[in-house]
A and B are shown apart, each in its own frame.
Chain A
């Protein structure tokens, strides 16, 4: 893999940054484009762009519903590629990582999908149902296409597998917390903090941390160990609610994305 926008951006960060997740096509692809542009203006370091799937077994009700809305609006893999192309054509420079379950990618073939994503202007790929044991074909295809493959670790991942996932990843390693932050607490539990510190010690790539983060205080709590605070569920729900009933729902969602991410950035300054 030669120059990669995600690796470059992460390499230049000197503090924790915000990585929003949005479901592509939730509210239609025009809205997704408007939201991506707003996220870049707001100062997001990169974006995870969710490819909707009919059976998202690792997602909670909010992201399931977003995927369902997106599929009902007619979103296809080609449509997701098209929105990335339009974002780049409009001058967008924020790195974009495609976040997709295995089957929509496998359907095109690992190599075909990786090339299509890279050609459209995506920079990384994350597959929540692809552990390192199954990930080699996609990893190879992604590297050949110039996409950063990103794997996941959790508090139950053994040290040997953390190392393996980290060494297989480019850009960042996605750290999932199950029992990290709850509610509006401003401190990580000691256990979660220890876990992040431990993973950080094992990983040659920086950490992106998804702990159910939705507030600046929560961002601040992970900022000590993470290069990226990943914000998914709270943002997707917020955008959906902001668009509902608004006279111009796409503009409303874009406006909500801008203010939401700017507010979270306060947390990175605290950290």
Chain B
């Protein structure tokens, strides 16, 4: 028995939210992970290695783009942080490179990941190929069917795909399976969680590796636009791209932070994933946060046209930002996300991920309230994976 890890060193909560509601079997691995992360982030060598990979392998810094035609259309000043241009097509690689290096540092050769839209799975598979780590990705069968191109990418990058058939066969069920796998082999395996959720220290680690988005964007918008944005907005599933953006602006009180959840078909009919609209605090996957649940504490099914936002809980830091009044959370319905997709495609020549399209759809729906304002949107991913879904929903008219 080891005495190396007795307790967490960093705060485990964001306000009232977060914590480590994890099976005892995982606690030693969580202590070890926290310690490795705290040591690594204070280690110049680690930081330099990660920065080098982010620059030379991933393609950072990503550009900040002034979307002029979209701005003219909407009557506000729209800036896009182009995480869709990051290698593997989304912001996910920022976190997977960081955590894969942490896994190496801990001497763990086997990596587990969950994936919804497939972007985190692809980014994990790429990081594992790069660093010579074994990779197993859990994916709900429903998500695999709607994100087929990413399934192929993961396999070609050498990852083993484990399809999850039970439950709703989406992201939540993929996380359940990945956690069960980890419970069985925590000594040799690192669970590379892809969003800012799960037990401590995951929400803090993921936010730490994603804050590069907000820090870059802040410098860029000051240089390119000559000032801070009035609004910084991002889509929120688990919330990793949003927290990455918000971390850059949270101390700038004049910048309004807006998180856009998946309104699905309609928030009134329960076919959605808008946790802040109708969820209440509860515990799922190790974290106390806003959760879509029934009166008995059972987790409710969710719906979104985008696999990456189709999840019943939200990262705990977002719950704290919301309660503190520092960030505002709203939602865009499937139809509004599709409108956002089409706007960017036709006006700016960009095919965004359906997840990111929610932020653009929200912007379009609030154009009057946002008139003349400078709005920064985190364009978290690109839409190649979604072409089939978009064509199907739009009846081939896209």
Contacts and interface: CB of A to CB of B under 8 A. Distances in A.
Contact of A133 (B3, B20, B297): B20
Nearest to A135: B21
Contacts of B25: 58, 154, 156, 176, 178
Nearest to A101: B283
A16 B186 CA distance: 30
B296 A107 contact: yes
B283 A106 contact: yes
Nearest to B185: A178
B303 interface: no
Contacts of B296: 76-78, 104, 107
Given A157-B24, A161-B6, A55 B282 contact: no
B266 interface: no
Interface string A153-192: 1111111110001000000000010100000000000000
A57 B3 contact: no
* Residue of B21, B186, B299 most packed against chain A (CB within 10 A): B21
Contacts of A76: 296
A57 B2 contact: no
Interface stretch (A84-92, A123-131, A233-241): A123-131
A134 B20 contact: yes
Contact of B298 (A53, A133, A155, A156): A53
Nearest to B29: A156
Interface in B153-179: 166-167, 172, 176, 179
A105 B291 CA distance: 14
A245 interface: no
A204 to B, nearest CB: 18
Given A102-B283, A133-B12, A178-B25, A57 B180 contact: yes
A55 B24 contact: no
A103 interface: yes
Nearest to B300: A54
A71 B296 CA distance: 11
Contact of B1 (A60, A64, A108, A155): A155
Contacts of B1: 155-159, 195, 198
Nearest to B3: A158
Contacts of A158: 1-6, 28
A152 interface: yes
Contacts of B180: 57-60
Nearest to B31: A158
B164 to A, nearest CB: 12
Contacts of A151: 24
Contacts of B27: 131, 133, 156-157, 161
A55 B172 contact: yes
A129 B22 contact: yes
Contacts of B20: 131, 133-134
A56 to B, nearest CB: 8
A64 to B, nearest CB: 7
A128 B29 CA distance: 16
Given A55-B172, A103-B284, A156-B186, A130 B299 contact: no
Contacts, number: 119
A4 B289 CA distance: 34
Contacts of B24: 128, 131, 151-154, 157, 165, 176
Given A58-B183, A176-B24, A105 B6 contact: no
B134 interface: no
Nearest to A194: B1
Nearest to B281: A106
A102 B19 CA distance: 12
A26 B347 CA distance: 56
A130 B23 CA distance: 7
B166 A55 contact: no
B270 interface: no
Interface string A108-147: 1000000000000000000011110110000000000000
A133 B28 contact: no
Contacts of B187: 156
B227 interface: no
A130 B21 contact: yes
A103 B293 contact: yes
Contact of A64 (B4, B12, B166, B299): B166
B21 A102 contact: yes
Contacts of A165: 24
Contacts of A68: 166
B184 interface: yes
Contact of B283 (A78, A103, A176): A103
Given A57-B176, A129-B23, A134-B20, A104 B298 contact: yes
A153 B288 CA distance: 22
A178 B23 CA distance: 13
Contacts of A198: 1
B183 A54 contact: no
Interface in A32-74: 53-60, 64, 68, 71
B291 A103 contact: yes
Interface in B29-81: 29
Contacts of B183: 57-58
Contacts of A103: 282-284, 291, 293, 297, 299
Interface of B: 1-8, 12, 19-25, 27-29, 166-167, 172, 176, 179-180, 183-184, 186-187, 282-286, 288, 291, 293, 295-299
Q: Which 3 pairs between the two chains have the least Cβ-Cβ distance?
A: A107-B297, A156-B28, A104-B297
25 contacts: A53-B298, A54-B299, A55-B172, A55-B176, A55-B285, A57-B176, A58-B183, A103-B284, A105-B297, A106-B283, A106-B288, A108-B297, A129-B21, A131-B21, A131-B23, A133-B27, A151-B24, A154-B25, A156-B1, A157-B24, A157-B27, A158-B1, A158-B2, A158-B28, A160-B6
Given A104-B298, A106-B282, A107-B297, 11 more contacts: A53-B298, A54-B167, A105-B297, A106-B297, A108-B297, A152-B23, A156-B2, A156-B25, A157-B27, A160-B6, A176-B24
